[in-house]
Structures are given as structure tokens and as C-alpha cells.
Structure 1
């Protein structure tokens, strides 16, 4: 099954707000154990993040992921949550009119949205890139750590823009943005702080491991 098919199937499943039992029945909860690729895993977790599936389904998903891969799964959840928050923000500023024109027409708003979109794209790209390295059979410790660090750092940057452009409505219980913000901040704290992941990445970059990784990349480019 390709990542695109996993994404499509997960979108349909999560749209029905499944419980943990439905997730188990679908087979998604044991994707890796059943022979799935890490690219498919990232696609699944991005959709889970977009859907704000809730802690029970989230726990069922993570239970099927080996410990060393969970940082990648969390980065993918964050990518999905940020994507959902961006979509809500785009819809809001397009509909909200101030001083005779939509907020989306304001230059400052457009710049903030562009920055937010860059964060979303970067986190998703980092997660997919790390998954591709794992699926190629190479050591992806650096790529996974870097994806997890970038994802954690993107949370406050992205949610700050989303809530600033939404105003007070973004914090209300009947509007979905706050659910994504709660999820994103929980995922950011899971498995270590940004400082912890920065220390791991820094240790890799300053050690001999960095030379090994760049040599590996150079060889890939030569044969590409």
C-alpha cells in the first residue's frame, strides 16, 4: 500500500471519529508490524493530526510504533495539526472583513500566513524525509531527531499566528482551533522538550557521526 492510499483511507476513517476499537479493526494501529513502510506511517499520522482524533485513538496508534520511531510519529502528528490550524486560519481570514475588505487581503496578514505555511511545509518535509531514509535501510537517527526538533519548534510559531489572526474566537470551546492547539502543545512536550532534542542534534553534528552522515549523502549524490 502506498503512502497516498494510506492517507486516503485514513482520511475516510478519521472523518467518522473512530474509537480505539475501530482503529484496531482497520489495521492501521499495527501498520509497521503488518509490514507497512515508514512513509505510510508518516502519512497516517499526518492525517491523525489533521483530524484531532483524540487521546484514545492517538494512544492506540502510538502503541503500534516502536519506541525509536515514536519521535517521527510525533513529528508527523504535529505536521498534521499545524496543517489543520493553517486551514482554519485561511478560512477565517478569507471570510472576516475589516475596514471594507477581507483580512486575507491585508499585507501583514498575508506575510504571517506565508510564514505559517512555510512552517507546515517544513515539518511535513522533514518527517517524510526521515521516513525515506529509514525505508532505504540507512541509519536515520539524525533525520528523525532533526524532524522532531523542527516540529517542536514550529508549534509555538504556528499556533501564535493562528490565534493572533483568529482573535478571541480561537479560544472558544465551540470553535475547533483550540483543540488543535491543545493537541499540538501536548505532542510538543511528549518524549522530551525542544531543548532535549536540540542537545541530541547538536551532539550528532559536533561528533564524528556528522562526517559519516555527510559522506553518505555525498555518495548518494554521486550515484543519483
Structure 2
């Protein structure tokens, strides 16, 4: 059944408030300093997402999917996620992940917290372990385009969509939808969003979501 609207949620910096899921995993994989430098250069526009993904993927070589899933059990997430997802479901709003986080991260968060996953970059997989290559690149424009295609498949016009994010990778999607919320965001994302707030709990975005949803009543 077609939902009344769709909310697209970023992961890194938004649902994962302290850094990125890639950095969290890289600390366990042993290449966090290299990845953190690369992510800083990406934020400054000095590296592409493709270059950062290739640096990160190398650290996954020889690691099993089971190990990644076990580490994700302790991934720090913002408080209030389940309450916001429940509000979305109760109000016929589809909560969808739109993120540059690796696909196993998106799937793990979606399964445990009731989001709908919608793609992302993939590390190559060889038999039972990751092979250290990027099987599918996914940048900020792919993120926007995948989100809009998802809305089309669900029969929801762009006017019925909004987005929540925090950084450079969210800007193309912010520019494509009529309502966007920069949550704990950098200056560029705040400038691109229709609203910006600082919050320690995701439930603090509910007044904004309620106001957005009232436009369809």
C-alpha cells in the first residue's frame, strides 16, 4: 500500500552521532587512522567518495560477514530511534535509510530498528570473507537518485518526501526534496537544508516531522 509520505534518514553523523560507522568498524579492522584522514579530506572536498571507499575496503580483506555483524552489535546509535520509527509507521510514513554507509551497516540497522534499507556501497565478497575490493560504488548523487527511484516505486511524489542528514553527502538529496532537516550538521548541510537543529535524541525531530506531515492532511 502506498504510504502517505517518506522520510529518508542518513546514517553516519545522523543515526550514528559520533563519527561514522566506517570509522567504528575500521577501529576493529585496524585501519582507523588512515580512514579518518580520508574521511576528513572527503569532507573538505579533497577526496572523492570512490577514493575513500577504496581505502576503507582494503581493510575488510579476509574478514567474515559474521565478524562485521558481531562488531555492529556495539555500534553507538542516537537515542530515540525506535520511538521515531514507530511514529513513522503509526502515521503511514515510510522510514527509509539513504546513506553512504556500507550495505551491511544499512541492513543491520534496518533489521534491528524497523527502517527500510535502500542500497549503498558494497565490499566485494569471496566465499565466506570480504575480499578488500569495492563491488559497488555509491556516492552522494547515487544516494539521491536511489532515494527518488524508491519514492517512484512506492508511488509517492517527490513532494511527499523529506530527508534528515548532517553533511556533504546529504546535500544533493536535500536539494531534491521540498523539506529537509540538518541534524547536528556541518555548515554546508545546514545551508542546504530547510531547517537545522541540534539534538541529542532523535525524538527531538518529531515536532518537525509532525509539521511536515500536516501538509498532507
Asked if these proteins are the same fold (TM beyond 0.5), I'd say no
Over alpha carbons, which structure has the higher Rg?
Answer: 1
More strand by share: 2
Q: TM-score, normalised on structure 1? A: 0.28
